[in-house]
Chain A
Amino acid sequence: SQQGEEDPQALSIQEGENATMNCSYKTSINNLQWYRQNSGRGLVHLILIRSNEREKHSGRLRVTLDTSKKSSSLLITASRAADTASYFCATETYSGAGSYQLTFGKGTKLSVIP
């Protein structure tokens, strides 16, 4: 079942603009992670934010987490054509026996037009 739901499903912006993607989830989480996937390729881990954190930065990426609203956002500033990819949020929840499970949303497809 889908835990995280990204919004929008697709986003098209001009190079240099900022891109904001949102993720909502349903149950309590240990952490929330954002991944990037270039077409047909493997996923690349971008950033992880713990459930007790509210904001995190990594280069041009800024992630926020609001556990009261069960939502997160990923902001990419000063976008580049090379940022064109699908972006997924993944929520980590405890699945028992010392194990944690990642549940992915369906992703936001970002197109950055040069």
Chain B
Amino acid sequence: DSGVTQTPKHLITATGQRVTLRCSPRSGDLSVYWYQQSLDQGLQFLIQYYNGEERAKGNILERFSAQQFPDLHSELNLSSLELGDSALYFCASSVGASGFPSTDTQYFGPGTRLTVL
């Protein structure tokens, strides 16, 4: 158990809908990362938050947005869903101290499996 929790485990929805995925980082971790894993694209970095602020952006679509709240949990919002958005969405957390050394290990949650019908 990594200490990172994600809810829900599974989500089935229809095209055009909007969903929210939730992540609680490990106790003490300030950084939260979101990844998308699909069969064709592999594991893609979407976005990182550090202590409530956006820190880095990866291959995140404009239809997707995220935020990190004062209690450090994070939510990933996916809107106008398309069939191609079906994937496993992982959240990871790390200590992520400002100017952190390059030994910052990311701990992954169990993922949310999103199916868009």
Q: Count CB-based A-B contacts (< 8 Å).
A: 67
Query: Which residue of chain A has its CB nearest to the CB of B44?
Result: A104
What chain B residues lie within 8 Å of A105 (beta carbons)?
42
CA distance A44 to B110 in the complex (A): 10
Binds B, one of A14-22, A66-74, A75-83, A93-101: A93-101
Q: Which residues of A contact B108 (CB under 8 A)?
A: 35, 42-45
- Give the CA-CA distance A107 to B88 in the complex, in Å: 15
What distance in Å separates the Cβ of A46 from its nearest Cβ neighbour in chain B?
10
Within 8 A of B (CB), among A5-53: 30-31, 33, 35, 40-45, 48, 50-51
Contact (Cβ within 8 A) B45 A102: yes
Across the interface, A2 reaches (CB within 8 A) one of B42, B50, B88, namely B42
Q: Is the CB of B48 within 8 A of A40?
A: no
Residues on A with beta carbons closer than 8 Å to the beta carbon of B92: 43
Q: Mark B23-37, 1 if CB is under 8 A from A, else 0.
A: 000000000010100
When C-beta atoms are compared, the residue in chain A nearest to B40 turns out to be: A106
Q: List B residues 41-82 near A (Cβ within 8 Å).
A: 42-45, 48, 50, 55-56, 58
Asked if residues A50 and B56 are in contact (CB atoms below 8 Å), the reply is no
Q: Please judge, given known A-B contacts A42-B110, A101-B48, whether A92 and B102 are in contact too, CB under 8 Å.
A: yes
In the bound complex, how far is the Cα of B92 from the Cα of A92, in angstroms? Answer: 15
Complex contacts, A31 vs chain B, CB 8 Å: 102-103
- What residues of chain B lie closer than 8 Å to A107, measured between beta carbons? 42-43
CA distance A2 to B80 in the complex (A): 26
| Cβ contact of B103, chosen from A50, A88, A103, cutoff 8 A | A50
- Contacting pair B55 A45 (CB below 8 A): no
Contacts of B2 in A (CB 8 A): 42, 44
Interface residues of A (CB under 8 A from B): 2, 30-31, 33, 35, 40-45, 48, 50-51, 88, 92, 95-107
A-B contact pairs, 11 of them (CB 8 A): A42-B111, A45-B105, A88-B43, A92-B102, A95-B56, A96-B56, A98-B98, A99-B55, A99-B56, A100-B100, A105-B42
